[in-house]
Each structure stands twice: as structure tokens, then as C-alpha cells.
């Protein structure tokens, strides 16, 4: 019975002990209130309830935990049950509290979002680098067929020299294992973006000019 758990917890746990367990320092029955910017101890304890005379916060041990952690009543009960080893809640809850499981789920979601963002980046950079590489191949052909007369634009020669690098980047991004790709992103991500940007903004004209 849920009601029984709340009553049991309130009966078994002294509010002062709970407060101190979660970092509240009590002297002469008073404490600095954690629920507002308190400079003098405004919180008192009576009849196993807390009360802040400055901000008005007050209630039972359950209320205290709810305020402190933003827990639901059940989460607060489970937290207290776990932290004080009361053994009141059913097996599934005793090892991992609801809020812990919520946190774990949130973490998984965050990781999924990160992976999705990375995948988006990877596909986009592959597109850009591939387009850039096709253009570089064309320039290389021009360069190879160059019959002289005028000096070949030095910038273009330099850019054509980047072909092996771009091929290497694309190879990792296309065929690399996931951890390898993540490492690539961390180390060469910015450089790959810079190279890809050349295709976006510079164009042949500026490179040849
Ligand atoms: Zn207060």
C-alpha cells in the first residue's frame, strides 16, 4: 500500500536526521534554509516537520526531499527508503530508484542525440568533401595536361596537392569504425570543415585567380 509507505517513512525517519543526511547543518534546532538565499538560520524543526520562517517552505520528510531534489512523492519515498535502507519498497525499486532510472534514460537519450548529430555532420561533410574531390580531380587533369607558357596558378597546384588528404578523410568517414570516426571528428573535424568550405565559397574562379 502506497499510503502505508509514506506513513511508515514519516514515522520512522526523524526530520533532523534526514536533513543532516542531505547536507543540512543543524545547530540548536535551527538550520540555514536550502530553499532560499538564507543568511541566518531560518529553518526550524518540530513534530517531525520542518519549517522555514523566511520563505515559508515546510512539511514532512517526504516534502523536504521533494523540494530538495525535485522528486515526485513516490521518488522521494524511494530515495529515503534506499538511502536509509528501510526495505519498504518492492524489489525492483530498491536497487535503482525511479529518479536514477530517469537519469539513465535521459543519458541514453542524450547519447542518441549526440550520435544523430554526429551522423548528420558525417553525411554532410562526406557530401561536401566528395564534391570537392571531384573538382580536385578535374583540376588535376587540367594540371597534367598543362602545356606551359604561363605559370600554373600556384594556389591551384597547392589545392590539387590536397587530393591524398581528402581521399584519406573520405576513407575514414565512409569506411572507418564508429570510434575511429568519432576520433577523426575530434581531431580533424575542423580541418575537414575548412577543406569542405573551400568548395562552398571559393570556387574555381577564386582559386585560379
Ligand atoms: Zn527558506
Domain extent listing, the chain: 2-95, 106-208
Number of other residues whose CB lies within 10 A of the CB of residue 160? 20
Count of CB atoms situated within 10 Å of the CB of 123: 11
- Residue 13 backbone zone (phi > 0: left; psi -120 to 50: alpha; other: beta): beta
Which pLDDT does position 83 carry in this prediction? 92
Angle, in degrees to the nearest 10, between helices 98-145 and 178-197: 50
> What residue ranges of the chain have pLDDT lower than 70?
1-3, 90-98, 147-153, 199-209
Residue 59 CA, ligand 1 centroid: distance in Å: 12
Q: How far is the CA of 79 from the centre of ligand 1 (A)?
A: 22
- The CA 35 to ligand 1 mean position distance, Å, reads 5
Question: What's the gap in Å between 174 CA and the centre of ligand 1?
Answer: 57
C-alpha distances in angstroms, 61 versus 41, 67, 125, 140? 19, 10, 54, 75
Cα(77) to centroid(ligand 1), Å: 22
Answer yes or no: are the C-beta atoms of 207 and 136 closer than 8 Å.
Answer: no
Distance CA 209, CA 179 (A): 40
CA 54 to ligand 1 center in whole angstroms: 5
Global model pTM greater than 0.75? no
pLDDT at residue 102, as a whole number: 78
**What confidence score (pLDDT) does residue 201 get?**
45
Which cell goes with 175?
Answer: 569506411
Which one, of 42, 48, 12, lies nearest residue 27 by Cα? Answer: 42
Domain 2-95 annotated CATH 3.90.580.10:
yes
Ramachandran quadrant class, 52 (left: phi over 0; alpha: psi -120 to 50; beta: rest): beta
The pLDDT of residue 147: 65
Burial class, 40, CB count within 10 angstroms (exposed 0-12 / middle 13-18 / buried 19+): exposed
pLDDT confidence of residue 175: 85
Burial of 179 (0-12, 13-18, 19+ CB in 10 A): exposed
Amino acid at each position: 500500500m502506497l499510503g502505508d509507505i509514506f506513513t511508515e517513512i514519516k514515522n520512522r525517519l526523524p526530520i533532523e536526521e534526514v536533513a543532516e543526511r542531505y547536507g543540512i547543518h543543524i545547530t540548536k534546532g535551527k538550520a540555514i534554509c536550502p530553499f532560499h538565499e538564507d543568511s541566518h538560520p531560518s529553518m526550524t524543526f518540530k513534530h517531525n516537520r520542518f519549517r522555514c520562517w523566511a520563505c515559508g517552505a515546510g512539511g514532512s520528510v517526504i516534502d523536504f526531499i521533494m523540494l530538495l531534489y525535485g522528486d515526485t512523492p513516490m521518488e522521494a519515498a524511494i530515495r529515503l527508503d534506499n538511502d536509509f535502507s528501510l526495505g519498504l519498497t518492492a524489489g525492483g525499486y530498491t536497487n535503482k530508484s525511479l529518479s536514477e532510472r530517469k537519469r539513465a534514460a535521459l543519458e541514453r537519450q542524450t547519447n542518441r542525440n549526440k550520435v544523430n548529430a554526429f551522423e548528420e555532420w558525417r553525411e554532410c561533410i562526406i557530401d561536401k568533401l566528395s564534391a570537392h574531390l571531384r573538382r580536385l580531380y578535374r583540376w588535376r587533369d587540367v594540371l597534367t595536361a598543362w602545356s606551359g607558357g604561363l605559370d600554373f596558378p600556384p594556389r591551384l597546384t597547392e589545392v590539387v596537392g590536397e587530393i591524398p588528404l581528402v581521399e584519406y578523410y573520405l576513407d575514414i568517414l565512409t569506411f572507418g569504425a564508429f570510434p575511429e570516426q568519432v576520433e577523426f571528428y575530434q581531431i580533424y573535424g575542423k580541418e575537414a570543415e575548412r577543406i569542405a568550405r573551400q568548395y562552398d565559397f571559393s570556387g574555381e574562379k577564386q582559386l585560379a585567380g
